Amino acid sequence: MAETLLQHPVLTNFVYPFLIVFFIVFAVLEKTKLFGEEKKQLNALTAFVIGLIFVSAVFPKMVVSNMILFLSVAIVIVFVVLMLWGFVFSTKEGFVMTNAMKVGLFIVITISLIIGILWAAGVSGKAYDFLFNQSWSEAFWTNLIFVVLIGVALAAVIRGSGK
């Protein structure tokens, strides 16, 4: 795979970690006013030194890099969930969703999200094989479907007899 300029080791190993630490430390110093009011130069110099010290250490840099990758993936997942939630539960005049419809759609969204994450991570084939192409899978899924159907029928009977 071709390497772009933004993937150069100098940028990924030194510049990006330095910038993220510099900006976070500078923002915290500005917000807390640790050195006093209107001390931007002192805050910037302190953040600069802390950023330089940070990029010289290997392990903390790896931890922050992994956390930033996790945060990026988590933000995208939350964004997709909120988009799906907004499409499903948007309010239109004259249409009111019942609680059962909301629960059903929530379950569909959750299952869709899990399948989407597995597919995007590249484990969907392995997960599918594990769940459906094993010696035990046919009996397991048949029994699970019967248990769920019996549970739904019992819930309907109990709810109907309670009124």
At residue 44, does pLDDT exceed 60? yes
Q: How confident is the model at residue 92 (pLDDT cuts 50, 70, 90)?
A: low
**Locate tokens 């969204």: which residue?**
109
92 strand-pairing partners? 95
- Report the alpha-carbon distance of residue 119 to residue 110 in Å, rounded: 14
Q: How confident is the model at residue 41 (pLDDT cuts 50, 70, 90)?
A: very high
- Enumerate residues 6+ apart whose C-beta is below 8 A from 25: 46, 47, 50, 51
- For the stretch 108-123, pLDDT in tens is 888 888 877 777 777 7
Helices (H), the chain: 9-10, 16-32, 40-56, 58-88, 99-121, 124-132, 137-162
- For the stretch 56-87, pLDDT in tens is 988 888 888 888 888 888 888 888 888 877 77
Left (φ > 0), alpha (ψ -120 to 50) or beta: where does 100 sit?
alpha
Between these two residues, 154 and 161, which has the higher pLDDT value? Answer: 154
Q: 65, 17 in Cβ contact below 8 A?
A: yes
Between these two residues, 124 and 43, which has the higher pLDDT value? Answer: 43
